Structure 1
Amino acid sequence: MPGIDQIKQPIAAEIDAFEVKFKESMQSSAPLLNRITHYIVKRKGKQMRPMFVFFAAKLCGGIVEATHRGAALVELLHTATLVHDDVVDNAYERRGFFSINALWKNKIAVLVGDYLLSKGLLLSVNNNDFHLLKIVSEAVEQMSEGELLQVEKVRRMDISEELYFNVIRQKTASLIASCCACGAASTAASEEEIEKMRLFGELVGIAFQIKDDTFDFGTDDVGKPLGIDIKEKKVTLPLIYALNRVDKAERKNIINLVKNHNDDPKKIQQIIDFVNANEGVHYANQKMLEYQNKAFEILDTFPDGDAKTGLQQLVKYTTERKK
């Protein structure tokens, strides 16, 4: 499988230009804000969200100036939600770096998140990109609803597969869906093409989250601590499937372990072993491939070219990654 640098080769120049513009879009007259936003830019990840935006635009007519604004809008609003999430979760690390709240405390982190949100809104309003703003704002709304639904689900220890898919569709898939829809909408694409790309992104996002949830029950060093979801009492697809395969007594016992012994390493390992013994990870991987294949079917309705190939490789990268 090609690495991320190889995948983005057809849009490498656009990504480089985007990084410069994204940095400029965060500029402030307040020195503290500039210091913090510089820190944020320095620790940006693989730029997969902008890649989805640019590849989608390239597939649907070509990358234009509005595409760059769409990519910046997605990144600004997403970064704002991450900064706020770290405050809510009391998280002091993100991607191996200190979080904003760890370095500058909660009050400043919340204000920085608000600032990034406002910069994203103004970027769209000042350029009359209301169609892009609508797409991304709807995604942020869904992400918030998904988070709240998950909180409620954790409290009730809900073990419904249907509810699991509702949560990840809103919480994770809506963002990737907005990236692809934004890319298409920044061009002269038709409403039908924009909706196709939105659905493509949603399917990819679901596959991505299922893959992420399997790491909790792995046996190798995958970069995500084993049992982290269990510690947070998150009921994910591998666990849901395993619970639905056993009798009521065993099911009750495992749910009790998740609810009341989720900080005991031996009990966590017992839950992991239970899930693997009942083929929870195998089932989740099969479902992930189903969503991946549905995404590929949508791509097959578009003409061949490096944009289509890039998206295919990007999908495979998200579902075949080791961490």
Structure 2
Amino acid sequence: MLNINEIKKPIAAEIDVFEEKFKTSMQSSVPLLDRITHYIVKRKGKQIRPMFVFFSASICGGINESTHRGAALVELLHTATLVHDDVVDNSYQRRGFFSINALWKNKIAVLVGDYLLSKGLLLSIDNGDFSLLKIVSEAVKQMSEGELLQIEKVRRMDISEAVYYEVIRQKTASLIASCCACGAASAGANDEVVEKMRLFGENIGIAFQIKDDMFDFGTDDVGKPLGIDIKEKKVTLPLIYALNNSTPGDKRRMIGLVKNHNDDPKKIAEIIAFVKEKGGLEYSEIQMKKYQEAAFGILDTFPAGDARTGLEQLVRFTTERNK
């Protein structure tokens, strides 16, 4: 698999400019806020979301100032949701580092999230990027709805395959979809092309989440702790398939283990073995590839070139990764 820096090469200069602009977009006159936003910027990830924005703009007409603002908007609103999520989940780590709420407590973390959200809104409003603001705001709305839908269904442990897809479409896929749609819209693409790119991103997002859910039942060297979704009582595709292809007695027993013994390592190992025995991972791999191929099918309708190659490589990087 290609290294992310190799994939980034055609737009590396744009990403460098974006990073400086993103830092500037977070600046405040309050010293405490500046310290916290500096901490956030220093611990940035692989820049996958901005890369989707820039490559999508490239394939739809070209990168411009609006594209940079779109990438910053996505990052600001997404970072705000992550800061808030860590408070909601009572999580003290993010990408191996202390979370904002772990270092500065919940009240400050919530306020920082609100600040980042407002900076994103103002960045778009001040520059008249209303189409980009609408795209990303819709994604944030769907992410919240997806999270609440999952919480509601987890309580009942009655998630069907259809509900699972709706949850991950809203929670995960909507954000990647907004990146691709933002890139297209910033380049001046018409509504039909923007929607095509949105669907492209949605398919990637669904494939990405299925792959991520499979790691919960894989080997323990993939970077994600085994059974973490089980501990959080998340009913994911491998488990759904296994439950739907077992006897009523086995199904009741496994649901009982997930509900009542999700902190017991032996019981978690039993659930993982059950999922593997019933073919949950193989089935999930097939479904993941269907969404991956759907994304490639959309991409094939665009002209060949660096932008299309970059997007193809990004799709493979996000859906064929080992961690």
Stretch of structure 1 that moved more, 212-221 or 173-182: 212-221
Instruction: Say whether 1:28 aligns with 2:5.
Output: no
Any unmatched runs of 5+ in structure 2? none
AA paired with 2:206?
A: I
AA paired with 1:152?
A: E
- Residue 314 of structure 1 corresponds to which residue in structure 2? 314
Equivalence map 1:197-236=2 (5 Å): 197-236=197-236
Q: How does the TM-score come out when normalised to structure 2?
A: 1.00
| SS of equivalent residue, structure 2 residue 27 | coil
| Cα distance in structure 2, aligned partners of 1:207 and 1:99 | 27
| Cα distance in structure 1, aligned partners of 2:283 and 2:188 | 40
Tell me by how many angstroms 1:320 deviates.
Answer: 1.0
Percentage of matched positions with identical amino acids: 78
| SS of equivalent residue, structure 1 residue 217 | coil
Instruction: Say whether 1:5 aligns with 2:11.
Output: no
Equivalence map 1:20-99=2 (5 Å): 20-99=20-99
| Cα distance in structure 1, aligned partners of 2:85 and 2:220 | 28
AA paired with 2:199?
A: L
Tell me by how many angstroms 1:167 deviates.
Answer: 0.1
| Cα distance in structure 1, aligned partners of 2:188 and 2:316 | 28
Equivalence map 1:134-145=2 (5 Å): 134-145=134-145
| SS of equivalent residue, structure 1 residue 8 | helix
Q: How does the TM-score come out when normalised to structure 1?
A: 1.00
- Residue 103 of structure 2 corresponds to which residue in structure 1? 103
CA contact (8 A) 2:61 2:188 kept: yes
Instruction: Say whether 1:117 aligns with 2:117.
Output: yes
CA deviation string 1:82-113 (max 9, x = no partner): 00000000000010000000000000000000
| Cα distance in structure 2, aligned partners of 1:167 and 1:127 | 33
- Residue 287 of structure 2 corresponds to which residue in structure 1? 287
Instruction: Say whether 1:253 aligns with 2:253.
Output: yes
CA contact (8 A) 2:220 2:226 kept: no
Equivalence map 1:142-221=2 (5 Å): 142-221=142-221
Tell me by how many angstroms 1:159 deviates.
Answer: 3.1
| Cα distance in structure 2, aligned partners of 1:54 and 1:47 | 11
| SS of equivalent residue, structure 1 residue 301 | coil
| SS of equivalent residue, structure 2 residue 216 | helix
Aligned CA RMSD, in angstroms, stands at: 0.5
Residues paired across the two proteins, number: 323
CA deviation string 1:34-91 (max 9, x = no partner): 0000000000000000000000000000000000000000000000000000000000
Tell me by how many angstroms 1:153 deviates.
Answer: 1.1
| Cα distance in structure 2, aligned partners of 1:201 and 1:296 | 10
| SS of equivalent residue, structure 1 residue 44 | coil
Tell me by how many angstroms 1:158 deviates.
Answer: 1.5
| SS of equivalent residue, structure 2 residue 245 | coil
CA deviation string 1:264-296 (max 9, x = no partner): 000000000000011101110110000000000
| Cα distance in structure 2, aligned partners of 1:303 and 1:103 | 48
CA deviation string 1:113-145 (max 9, x = no partner): 000000000000000000000000000000000
Deviant stretches of 4+, over 4 Å: none
Tell me by how many angstroms 1:231 deviates.
Answer: 0.2
Tell me by how many angstroms 1:222 deviates.
Answer: 0.5
| Cα distance in structure 2, aligned partners of 1:105 and 1:15 | 32
Any unmatched runs of 5+ in structure 1? none
| Cα distance in structure 2, aligned partners of 1:257 and 1:72 | 43
| SS of equivalent residue, structure 2 residue 80 | helix
- Residue 266 of structure 1 corresponds to which residue in structure 2? 266
AA paired with 1:287?
A: Q
Tell me by how many angstroms 1:189 deviates.
Answer: 0.8
| Cα distance in structure 2, aligned partners of 1:79 and 1:184 | 22
Tell me by how many angstroms 1:220 deviates.
Answer: 3.8
AA paired with 2:125?
A: V
| SS of equivalent residue, structure 2 residue 166 | helix
CA contact (8 A) 2:143 2:171 kept: yes
